[in-house]
Every structure is written in C-alpha cells, then in structure tokens.
Amino acid sequence: MVVCYSGIHLQSLNRPLFMVTIFLFVIIPFAASLSFNFNSFGPNDSNITYERAYPANGVIQLTPNQHSIGRATYSKPMQLWDNASRNLTDFTTHFSFVINSQNKTSYGDGMVFFLAPVGSKIPNNSTRGGNLGLTTDSSRLNSTDNPFVAVEFDIYQNHWDPEHDHVGININSMQSVTNVTWSSSILDGKKNDAWISYDSSSTNLSVVFTGFRGNTSVQQNLHYLIDLREHLPEQVTFGFSAATGSLSARHSIHSWNFSSSLQIIENITNPTDPGLVMPPSPNPDPNPAKNKAGLVVGLAVGGCVLVGVLGLVLFAFWKKKKRQEDEDQDLDFDVSMDNEFERGTGPKKFSYNELARAANNFVEEEKLGQGGFGGVYRGFLEESNSYVAVKRVSRGSQQGIKEYASEVKIISRL
C-alpha cells in the first residue's frame, strides 16, 4: 500500500509542476520591443553604429563639411512586423537636431530618419548630396536595390523637389510622396525637435516637427498612410543619414529616444497596446525610459507572483504527502494493535457499549478531567468488579492513532 501511494503521489506532484512550468513559458513573452533614451553621445557607446559619422562634444556629427555623407544607426534591429501573424509594430521616436549653414546663405543638402533592411549601408556609387546617403547616383527616384522608408528634412532644391526647404515622407525615392514647407532656421543653426510615430492599426506615419518664424518656435506636421509590411522586411535597421554636395551645412543629432511595441509570444505576436502610441500631440513629451521601467517592474512583479504560486503548489502537495504518511503510520499502529488483541499479548479489548455502560453513558457527573486526546471518565467494570478510568476520544483531539496506541501500550505494561 505504501509503495502504491508513493507512486500516485509522485505522479500527482509532477503533473502540477509540469503545468506550472508550461505556464511560466506561456505567459512570459519573448520581448521583441525596443526602448532607449540618449541625452548625449560618446565615443565609447556601443549602442550606436557609425558609418562615416562620429560623436563629438556629446552630439552625433553626420556631415562636417562639403561632399560628405554620414550615417548613425541603432546597433540592434527593430522587429517591424511578424510574418507568422502579420502583426505590425507601433513605434514612436523623438530627436533634437541642428542643421547649421554657419551663416552661409547657400547650403545643402539635408538629413533623414530612415528604416531600411538589416545590413543596409551607404550604397556604393552614392556621391551626390541629393541622395542623402540612401540611394546610388543612378537610382535616386527608384531605389529598389536599396529600399527604405524615410522622413527627410531637405534644405536643397533638386529638380524633383518643391521650391523651399521642406519635410517629406519618402518611399524608395528621393522624391517625397507627401511634403510640407519647413519654416527652418538654417542660417542661425537653431535646435529643432521632431516626433515621428507609426500606428499599426491605422498604418498612419505621423510627423510633428518644430520650425521658426522669426525668433518664435512653431510646430508643423504631416502624415501619410503606409503599410510598412509592403515595403520593408520583418526586421529593419533604423537611424539617421545626411549628405552634402558642393554646398554644405553641419548636420548633428543632439538627443534621441525611441520606443517600439511588438512582442512575440510563442509565435503569436501582438502590439502591447496599439492605443498607447498615438500621433504626437501639439506638446509631445515622450519618455521611453518610463516605458522601459514599467516593463521591468511588470516582469519582476509577474515573476514574483509565479514564484509564489509555485511555492503554494509545492507546499500543498507536501502537506498532502505528509498527511497521507501520517495516516499510513496510524493504520500500521491500528493493525499492530489488532494483532496483539487477537494473540492476547496486549491490553484487553472492550466494545464501546461496554465502556459506555461502565461510565454511565459518559455523563458530566462521571467526568474526571480533560486530556489531549479527550475526556477521562470514571467507570465500573462488573466483570472484574473494579473501578476504571475511561478515556473517550473527542473529534477535536490534537493527537492521532499513533499517540493513542503508544499511550495504551505504556499503560498496559504497568
């Protein structure tokens, strides 16, 4: 019986452990989301990958002079969408930047924030400023070999551009699919801010950016509906690119934060909350650091809850095992005593009715006291013509059969 019980107990114990283990794997997602915040940039920061650009004095210098091209991208790729579920990420980014012509009235060419396939580099045969470091000289209006989606801050008018400095959204071409005239301040080199967000539910790419009218800062915006799955692979590299030609300006990034939402849970992906990432408000104040802290706190709390649940499961099965072991021991003692009664080697056995008659049906007047096992009553056995003490087991007894058997054995040896 003991062996059979042990086998059943182990199986019942292993099953909940197995279920809890599965539960742990199911509810903890493989986090494909990204979140970071850079208030300055240094030469020892491995999170930024530089291509001809470089950090200097706490900023990223993309183009220091004429005929220069520079890129700065985040070192890890972004999970833009998931092929298994077709789910698409939301993302939002904010960066501050300066384009400074250093008081020159003629300047070029501009900079972009871009998404491109992982491994994308400045293309070979990209020598002209109008390419902005994204296309070759011969594929500026049809860059299928170097696909990208970009938001451009263009300060030079090529033949495909509108008349004035402008901000546009570009897809595999330096000619924008939509644009708006930018109230820029290139001569003064004033700092600008831009907020770019993508809503996967509406496929809306939204851009809010600052400009200047005189000395007054103003906000401008544009947007475009685009399904990024149709233009880019699942994982993309992202960051900044700038270029100059015979005319130049210094293009620099002063701060950058970013947050994306796509998470993969055992081949099932969902944006964490598409409603959380909205097109920037007139007074945006993005803070991805808080999102990251929230994610860390959430995972920590979830882990503690899981550990607590696992602990309760183990404790419950330990209690069950111990209770069953105690019952088995009590049963062994009971069988042992029955054997002694049958052999006549142990104490004499009386029926309940005999003891009840002897103790006058256990009336309170016959009660002598209360022990740990139950009440003790005075009784008289006519068969032996002697007075006896009868202990009656109570339902609320704190002792078990094992303690009772030991007590009876000890008394019988006196």
**CA-to-CA distance for 355 and 389, rounded, in angstroms?**
10
Residue 391 labelled as part of a binding site: yes
Q: Under 8 Å CB-to-CB from 250, ≥6 apart: which residues?
A: 61, 63, 64, 98, 99, 100, 101, 102, 189
Say which residue the tokens 């696992």 belong to.
310
Closest CA to 123 of 140, 109, 141: 140
Q: How far apart are CA 379 and CA 390, in angstroms?
A: 6
Question: Closest Cα to residue 49, out of 134, 128, 121?
Answer: 121
Which pair of tokens denotes residue 361?
A: 């049906």
Q: Angle at which helices 401-412 and 288-343 pack, to 10 degrees?
A: 30
Written as six digits, the tokens of 167 are 């901000």
C-alpha 198/C-alpha 77 separation (Å) is: 17
Q: Are 239 and 77 in contact (CB under 8 A)?
A: no
**3 state DSSP class of 265:** strand
Cβ(412)–Cβ(346) under 8 Å? yes
N residues, the chain: 414
359 and 366 Cβ atoms separated by less than 8 Å: yes
What is the rounded CA–CA span in Å between residue 226 and residue 242?
23
Tell me how far apart the alpha carbons of residues 4 and 382 are, in angstroms, rounded to a whole number.
46
Which residues are part of a known binding site?
Answer: 391
Which residues are part of a known binding site for ATP?
Answer: 391
